[in-house]
Amino acid sequence: MRLGYTLIYVSDVAATVAFYESAFGLQRRFIHDSGLYAEMDTGETTLSFAAETMAEMNGLAIRPNSPRDLPAGIEICLVTESPEAAYEQAVGAGALAVKAVEAKPWGQRVGYVRDLNGCLVEICSPVHP
């Protein structure tokens, strides 16, 4: 077993992809023609987005994310050597500033924003052993 994908159900796949490109500098791998599914080019562990309506089609019931609601107890962690600049870029692109980047006792620098759908995104520096 290995972790293959992190998938977030969203109301608008194309808008979410565009947001992740402008706010976090990620690249899209592809958006399916249906507009209901997309993958970001995130290396070994794929970050993907699927339309909420896909959840119903799959027989699932979910609590949709909403920027107006408490975020779900889960976060996407994006790692960069310059989290301060990444944080500024994200907020400039419309991410909700939750907690500015600060240094942790173990030396990591960590900040938090919420994306256009209200999902928590952690922006942090790598942990150097």
CB nearer to other proteins: give 1 or 61: 61
**Cβ 16 to other proteins, closest distance in Å?**
15
Instruction: Give the nearest distance from C-beta 123 to other proteins in angstroms.
Output: 25
Query: Least CB distance from residue 52 to other proteins, whole Å?
Result: 4
DSSP string, 12-75: -HHHHHHHHHHHH---EEEE-TTSSEEEE--TTSEEEEEEHHHHHHTT-------TTSPPPS-E
Q: Which is nearer to other proteins, 2 or 63 (CB)?
A: 63
Comparison of 59 and 107: residue with beta carbon closer to other proteins:
59
- Pick between residue 43 and residue 59 the one whose CB is nearest to other proteins: 59
Q: What is the closest distance, in whole angstroms, from the C-beta atom of residue 58 to other proteins in the complex? A: 10
Contacts to other proteins by CB under 8 A? 9, 11, 52-53, 55-56, 59-64, 66, 68-69
The structure tokens 């507009």 sit at 35
